[in-house]
Amino acid sequence: MSAAEEQPVADDRLPEPVEASLAKSDPFRLRGEPPSVMRLSRKTLAIAGALAGTAIGGALLWALQPADKKAPENLYVAEGTNKPDTVTGAPADYGAIPKLGPPLPGDLGRPILSAQQEGQLPPVPPPPGQARAPDPALDARDRAREERESANASRLFLAGGAASRGPALDAEIEPSAAGQGNPTDSAPTAGRRSFMAAGDRAEESTAPIRAASSPYLLQAGSVIPAAMVTGIQSDLPGQVIAQVTENVYDSPTGRILLIPQGARLIGEYDSEVAAGQNRVLLGWDRLLFADGRSVSLERLPGADARGMAGLSDRTDNHWGHMIRAALVTSLLGAGAEIGSGDDDRLVRALRRGPQDGVSEVGQRLVDRQLRIPPTLTVRPGFPLRVLVTRDLILEPADGVGR
């Protein structure tokens, strides 16, 4: 038997427990069960994270606090009040006030008073003319008379003050009371009335009933239709031109042509515009015919197609300028307030000056924009009516009638 045959053959079989476990498991499995892993709880991790974040936030807040906290101080602190010499030099109470005695004769009064206060001289008796026995009734009458005189002279009560007031005081008060009203309130109204009252107006008829003085009469109450030839912009005063758009006939018969279509009207508009106004006031002065004739209208009022005084087309209230001024004022105020912290008094005092100046500039800017009146614009071609307020005696237009 050879040596190779004599060597024992190794046993490749697994131990019996392992073979038993493999026999019990799934025969198609390629590997065994992996080892289990221990997992942490999510609640535990969330609580730990919240605690750590709270601790870190508290540490940051504590670290960012100033070393010493001081309450803000006033910019101006009155450390002491200055009192006048009359107050500081006066006695502290009524007990320290020197008591006056009877009058002393001549220039020796002061030395005698000093000697009496030092106890060197006896009290000086009053002069013989002033020495009298006290009379309670006389003293009561004197006190009553003094009280009446003081009450009459007093102005504490309205009746007494009014009784004692003289004519000079009344003359001083009346102008001030009369000037309490705002003169600018009635200025636009007075200006418009004076604008419409410009020129002399002569009435055709002074008697209650009177026959027409001419058959070619255009009576008061008639309307002359026209349209604007030029435009109006109320920023500056100026003249306006309109053209008659329809034939105008006489008032008695309505058959005689007095104002033909195409006649020109010359007028003027009022450029004084108040806040909130949206109509332009205008008046007509002359009527020009095509053949060169003309007639004075003496400021006849103009109205729109509905008969309302003045013309209303476009109104510019300058809201854009006002909004820009308000924005600039807000930016200036915000810039002035930025950085106003708890600095010392010197820094705050230096900052207060520019802040006040910037605020005042912004307020003046807004006030200036508010004082700008609106701009009224009437475009060329706008229809209008001329209201005849007095009788007009005209001539027929080339003898043309209807």
Please indicate, yes or no, whether residues 222 and 360 belong to a single structural domain of this protein.
no
DSSP state of 94: G
The whole-angstrom separation of Cα 223 and Cα 201 is 19
Residues 357, 226, single domain; the answer is no
Does residue 289 sit in the same domain as residue 387?
yes
Q: Please state the φ and ψ torsions of residue 110, each to the nearest 5 degrees.
A: -65, -45
Contact 112, 124 (CB under 8 A): yes
Measured at the CA of 312, the angle between CA 307 and CA 318, to 5 degrees, comes to 160
Same domain, yes or no: 231 and 355: no
pTM, two decimals, is 0.43
- If phi > 0 it is left, if psi is from -120 to 50 it is alpha, else beta; for residue 221 that is left
| Residue appearing with tokens 């332009």 | 280
Handedness of CA 322, 323, 324, 326 (dihedral sign): positive
235 and 382 assigned to the same domain: yes
Q: What is the DSSP letter of 224?
A: E
Same domain, 244 and 382: yes
Q: Are residues 264 and 387 in the same domain?
A: yes
Give 385's contacts (C-beta < 8 A, 6+ positions apart): 223, 224, 225, 226, 302, 303, 304, 305, 307
Helix (H, G, I), strand (E, B) or coil at 207: coil
State the Cα angle at 391 between 385 and 392, rounded to 5°. 75
Q: Does a structural domain hold residue 302?
A: yes
The pLDDT score that the predictor gives to residue 245 is: 94
User: Which residue in this structure is represented by tokens 């009203």?
Assistant: 181
CATH of the domain at 243: 2.40.128.260
Q: Please, what is the Cα angle at 369 between 368 and 370, to 5 degrees?
A: 90
Q: Is residue 44 part of a domain?
A: no
Give the Å distances, CA to CA, from 213 to 155, 217, 391. Answer: 71, 8, 10
328 part of a folded domain: yes
Q: Are residues 266 and 387 in the same domain?
A: yes
Which residues touch 301 (CB under 8 Å, ≥6 apart)? 196, 282, 283, 284, 309, 386, 387, 389
Residue 174's closest CA among 165, 186, 164? 165
pLDDT tens for the chain, 402 residues long, are 444 444 444 445 545 555 555 555 566 667 777 777 777 788 899 999 999 999 999 988 888 877 666 666 665 555 556 677 777 777 777 776 666 666 656 656 667 767 776 665 555 555 554 545 566 777 777 888 887 777 666 554 444 444 444 444 344 434 444 444 444 445 566 766 776 666 656 666 565 677 777 888 999 999 999 999 999 988 888 999 999 999 999 988 888 999 999 999 999 998 888 878 889 999 999 999 998 899 999 899 999 999 898 898 888 887 777 777 777 777 766 665 665 555 566 566 666 666 667 677 777 777 777 778 888 999 999 999 999 999 998 988 865 555
Distance CA 377, CA 315 (A): 6
Which residues form the domain of 331? 319-338+346-371
Does some domain include residue 198?
no
CA separation for the pair 196, 299 (Å, rounded): 7
Residues 255 and 282 both lie in one domain:
yes
The reply to whether 386 and 311 lie within a common domain is yes
Query: Does residue 6 belong to any structural domain of this protein?
Result: no
Pair 363, 256 in one domain:
no
Domain match, 355 and 286 both? no
Number of structural domains the chain divides into:
2
Q: Cα(first)–Cα(last) distance of the chain, in Å?
A: 166
Q: What is the residue whose two structure tokens read 């230096």?
A: 350
What pLDDT is stored for residue 86 in this prediction? Answer: 72
- Strand pairing category for 257-259 and 314-316: unpaired
Residue 259: beta bridge partners?
A: 248
- pLDDT value at residue 372: 81
Residue 357 included in any domain: yes
Q: Could you tell me if residue 179 is inside a domain?
A: no
User: In this structure, is residue 323 part of a structural domain?
Assistant: yes
Q: Cβ distance 153 to 131 under 8 Å? A: no
With both helix axes pointing from N to C terminus, report the angle between 319-337 and 345-371 in degrees, rounded to the nearest 10. Answer: 180
